[in-house]
Amino acid sequence: MASIVAVIASTHHPFYYKASTATGEDRPPFADEWERKILAFRETLTRANPDVLVMVGSDHFHQLWLDNMPQFLVGKAPFYDANWYNEEREFGLPRMLLKGQEDLSAHILRNGLDEGFDLAFSNELRIDHSITCPIITLRPEADLPIVPIYTNIFAPPLPQPSRFVKLGETIRQIVEQWPSHLRVAIIGTGHLSLELGGPRQFGPHGPDPEFDRKAVEWIATGDLDSCLREVSLDSLHSPGNATHGFMDFMLMMGVAGAGAKADYVDTLDLFHTMEAYFTWYPNGSSALGGAR
Amino acid sequence: MSKYLIDKFLYTVDRDPDLVERYRSEPAELVTWWEAARANTVLNCITGESSTWLRFTDDERQALIAHDHVRLFELGAHPFLTLTLFIAMFERDNKEPLEYQKAFGARLAHFDLPYPDIAT
């Protein structure tokens, strides 16, 4: 069976690419520290030596639209073109082409349906920065085949937070049952407190530092009980109007497992939003072998 | 009240560089043209299979023509769509980083929670 060699949860800040590649006067003052943290975070994936990446993210009204809106969607295609005109325009993101791992896509779709998730699928999916940002930060070679999984954190009505957790738990079980010798890393990105298009946007910090502090604690300690007790679809409006993206972190807590302490935790307090980076090694970091 | 149609306008204009420029420079012309020619287009269908019932209210049309993002927020337009398109049109006039983004937020400062419902 396949082995899950790393579980990674991260924010996806679309400005990282531009900040980290800027030079001279264009380089923002926070770029050096940000890049150092990203390089350290990248090492947590590199040392796990994965063959395949399952990538959980959320389409930002690019290909998925309100005339035909899936709640959870799995890509199944041999290739995925990536990044969109408005992401090039606003964030300077490059066009990319990623390979797909169709066998694992098919396995997740079949078994997800059988486990009670009526997953939508796409055979031609252009992915956006919720998935390309972690490729850029964690695997900039973009050389590993992926399975993209999109969640709706954006267009109400949304699934309940508990549903995200359950989907994460189910993805973990399904991937562990994949008849393959390959090493799989499951990577998902979301947000801590975030406001977009509202009065609290683009402040000196994230809109709700207290929520961010609690959220980082929940994730780092695998405290799903407290997280599920405090977080609801209604409550997530309070830390910031785009904070429903936190439910993708909750999905990744489900992948990591209740009570699973993260093996790597780092944060960076930036303007606009707090960055947060977590890695779990399900088999223990000592099981990573010679890949280190 | 057609939040969906406002969102459809913002979404389809934002993804087309030519329409972004037309909306910036000739908003009345662009909004009028879009409502007549594009509002009823089902995005994945040929022209002969368009919808027949979508139109803006006067209030919505006026807010779009006036580039009135505060009114759009009040009407329940999806704030991510509004922000993205308005940054595309007006960030270029910034004299310092994030100037437009901060001003955009400041113009919404009178809104308290709960914000207008964005469900479509």
Q: Report whether pLDDT(B115) > 60.
A: yes
C-alpha A32: how far from chain center: 23
Contact A61 B79 (CB under 8 A): no
Within 8 A of A202 by CB-CB distance, chain B residues are: 98, 101-102, 105
How high is the pLDDT of residue A282?
Answer: 97
Q: How far is B62 from chain A (nearest CA, A)?
A: 20
**Which residue in B42, B102, B119 is closest to A202 by CB distance?**
B102
Is the pLDDT at A292 greater than 60? The verdict is no
Least CB-CB distance to B105: which of A67, A68, A200? A200
**Which residue of A lies nearest to B110 if distances are taken between CA atoms?**
A199
What does the block give as tokens for A11?
């924010």
- Which of A218-232, A273-287, B100-114 has the least mean pLDDT? A273-287
For residue A279, the SS3 value is strand
Chain A / chain B CB contacts < 8 angstroms? 79
Asked if A235 reaches chain B (Cβ–Cβ under 8 Å), the answer is: no
Distance, in angstroms, between B58 CA and closest chain A CA?
Answer: 23
- Compute the nearest-CA separation of A58 from chain B (Å): 13
pLDDT mean across residues, chain A? 96
Report the distance separating Cα A144 and Cα A54, nearest Å: 10
pLDDT digits (tens, 9 = 90+) for A169-202: 999 999 999 999 999 999 999 999 999 999 999 9
For residue A85, pLDDT over 50 is answered with yes
Residue in A129, A124, A263, A244 with CA at minimum distance from that of residue A195: A244
Q: Is B83's CB within 8 Å of A156's CB?
A: no
As a whole number of angstroms, the distance between CA B67 and CA B70 comes to 9
Q: Is the pLDDT score of A9 beyond 90?
A: yes
Pure H helices in A80-139: 85-91, 102-114, 129-138
- Residue A184 CB burial class (10 angstroms; 0-12, 13-18, ≥19): buried
Cis peptide before A28 (omega within 30 of 0): no
Share of residues in chain B with pLDDT > 90 (%) = 96
| Tens digits of residue pLDDT in B62-108 | 999 999 999 999 999 999 999 999 999 999 999 998 999 999 999 99
pTM of the full predicted structure?
0.97
3-state secondary structure at position B21 = helix
Q: Is the pLDDT of residue A55 over 80?
A: yes
**Distance of alpha carbon B51 from alpha carbon B53, whole angstroms:** 6
For A231, residues 6+ apart whose C-beta sits below 8 A from its C-beta are A161, A246, A247, A250
Q: What is the mean pLDDT of the segment spanning A279-289?
A: 86
Closest residue of chain B to A61, computed from CA coordinates: B11
Instruction: State the Cα–Cα distance between residues A195 and B85, nearest whole angstrom.
Output: 16
pLDDT band with cut points at 50, 70 and 90 for residue A265: very high
Chain A residues with beta carbon closer than 8 angstroms to that of B15: 62, 84-86
- Quick one: pLDDT at residue A289? 59
The CA distance from A184 to the nearest CA of chain B, in Å, is 33
Q: Return the CATH number of A3-286, one of 3.50.50.60, 1.20.1260.10, 3.40.830.10, 3.30.465.10.
A: 3.40.830.10
| Contact by Cβ (8 Å): A128, A60 | yes
pLDDT at B2: 87
pLDDT of residue A286: 76
The pLDDT tens digits for A220-235 are 999 999 999 999 999 9
The minimal CB distance from A86 to the residues B88, B108, B110 is found for B88
Which pLDDT tens digit goes with each residue over B23-54?
999 999 999 999 999 999 999 899 899 999 99
CA A162 to chain centre: 17
- B103 contacts chain A (CB < 8 A): no
The model's confidence at residue A291, banded by pLDDT at 50, 70 and 90, is: very low
Q: Regarding beta strands A72-75 and A120-122, do their DSSP bridges make them parallel or antiparallel, or are they unpaired?
A: parallel
Gap from B117 CA to chain A (nearest CA, Å): 9
A156 and B81 within 8 Å at the Cβ level: the answer is no
